[in-house]
Amino acid sequence: MHLMHIVFFGIMMTWIVIAVFFVEWKKASGLKLVVQLASSAFLIVGGLGFFGAAIASTGGLNWLPISLEWPLTHSSNAVRLDSGEYVVPHEGAGRVQVYDENLEFIRGWSAKSDGGSFVLVSSTENQFFVVTARGNRRDKYDALGTWVSASTYSGDYPPAGVANVYVELEVNPLLWPFMHPFVAWLYAAIGMVLGGLAEKMQSKKDKTVP
């Protein structure tokens, strides 16, 4: 694990600890406790979604099994292979994911994009290129995730021939915070709003105590 991944992991764990101890386990009760618990839950899942994606996109979760699907609702830059399978980029998590002709997940792996943007470009024989903005990488893979070849390119990014097949995918609502870093921050923001509400409830209670 690189230093950057350790830093991201440390920030994520600090965020989670703060969210957990935000709940006044001994003092809070009733509605205030419910609001604090909800605030803590939103902050935790938001932090996991955001920092988890940051770690994954920079290569810190390359050890994840290919059977793991990172949630994604849609993409307009997928590749459809001759076999009928779809190859879908997940920029937020820096992953490439393969789906069958019915858009059922099959496998996925790291795009080696170093946390930057990347696109897919069709090739031949059920193969495709992963072209990255950082490092100017142009790696060829097959649908099994086998790394066929590696090269670099010169010129503008994105290159010509970027895949433009649109796909819509089903996502369990419980996994929404992991779809995209922006969604994760939205959950965290909701947690902050609920936390502010809990503080106001406490202030109001303090003023009413004789």
88-122 pLDDT, tens digit each: 999 999 999 999 999 999 999 999 999 999 999 99
Residues with Cβ within 8 Å of 94's Cβ and at least 6 positions away in sequence, in order, are 53, 56, 57, 58, 59, 110, 111, 112, 113, 115, 118
88 shares its domain with 16: no
- Do 44 and 80 fall within a single domain? no
Per-residue pLDDT at 125: 85
Same-domain status, 163 and 82: yes
Q: For residues 161 and 112, state if they share a domain.
A: yes
Amino acid symbol at 92: G
Using alpha carbons, select from 157, 160, 167 the residue that is nearest to residue 79: 167
Residue 182, helix vs strand vs coil: helix
What pLDDT, on the 0 to 100 scale, is given for residue 144?
95
CATH code at position 95: 2.40.10.480
CA dihedral sign of residues 65, 68, 69, 71: negative
**Is 87 in contact with 128 (CB distance < 8 Å)?**
yes
Read off the pLDDT of each residue in 182-194 and give the average, rounded to a whole number: 94
104 and 23 in one domain?
A: no
Q: So what's the pLDDT on residue 37?
A: 87
CA of residue 197 relative to chain centroid, distance: 28
- Assigned domain for 114 exists: yes
Q: Summarize pLDDT for 124-133 with one digit per residue, the tens.
A: 889 999 999 9
Pair of tokens at residue 30 = 């009733």
Q: Which of 189, 208, 205 is nearest to 33 (CA)?
A: 205
Look at residue 162 and tell me if it is in a domain: yes
Q: Which domain holds residue 99?
A: 74-170
Give the count of domains, the chain. Answer: 2
Q: How confident is the model at residue 33 (pLDDT cuts 50, 70, 90)?
A: confident
Same domain for 51 and 90, yes or no, is: no
Percent of the chain's residues with pLDDT above 90 = 70
Domain-located, residue 66: no
Query: Do residue 109 and residue 160 come from a single domain?
Result: yes
**Rounded Cα–Cα distance for residues 132 and 68 (Å):** 22
Domain co-membership, 162 together with 97: yes
65 within domain boundaries: no
Asked if 189 and 164 sit in the same domain, the reply is no
Distance from C-alpha of 177 to C-alpha of 142, rounded to nearest angstrom: 30
Same domain, 7 and 29: yes
Residue 68 located in a structural domain: no
- Tokens read off for 200: 């106001």
Q: Which residues pair with 74 in a beta bridge?
A: 168
Residue 54 shares a structural domain with residue 78: no
Query: 80 and 55 in one domain?
Result: no
Identify whether the C-beta of residue 131 lies closer than 8 Å to the C-beta of residue 141. Answer: no
